[in-house]
Copies of this chain bind each other. A is one copy, B any other.
């Protein structure tokens, strides 16, 4: 299976737009392989040649989104540094802006029904940023735990945000974080 083969590209494009369409009508977990193939005008055998289940297609979407998260996190950031007189953390605020940008996808990622794999993709990405303040280097094992602690704490905020249906702005979320870190 050569992912540069034009046939493969075309097939995957069809499947991708088919899934995008179906997601407007029903939740990911309700979409059948048969249904997706019909919408994409491809043979079911072709689907199983590339994927195992519908969720794998969504995973491909989310892999792209993770690339964007990595990219936007590493880009120089030109954003207002203040909101309501509070200083914004220039590192984490990019995460919140990223989430807001892909709000519709994260509503799926954080839903109860889907597999945890997307959660862990986000977790590992944020974890790789190494968010733990300025406290330089620690001993190896503690550092591992600290990374997981910090990354998942941020995701805890995002879960709460998700449960508020992403009502707050990204900047407001960052203010919440700053306030928590000040405690």
Contact = CB atoms under 8 A, between A and B. Distances in A.
Interface of A: 110-117, 119-120, 123, 132-133, 135, 141-142, 144-157, 159-160, 176-177, 179-180, 183
A32 to B, nearest CB: 15
Contacts of A112: 115-117, 120
18 contacts: A110-B116, A111-B116, A112-B115, A113-B115, A114-B116, A115-B116, A123-B156, A123-B159, A141-B176, A142-B176, A142-B179, A142-B180, A148-B160, A149-B154, A149-B157, A149-B180, A150-B156, A152-B152
Nearest to A118: B116
Nearest to A133: B183
Number of copies: 2
A132 B176 contact: no
A117 B110 CA distance: 10
Given A153-B150, A153-B152, A156-B151, A180 B145 contact: yes
B135 A183 contact: yes
A180 B144 CA distance: 11
Contacts of A135: 183
Given A123-B156, A148-B159, A149-B154, 16 more contacts: A111-B116, A113-B115, A114-B115, A115-B115, A119-B119, A135-B183, A145-B160, A145-B177, A145-B180, A148-B157, A149-B180, A150-B153, A151-B156, A152-B153, A152-B155, A155-B156
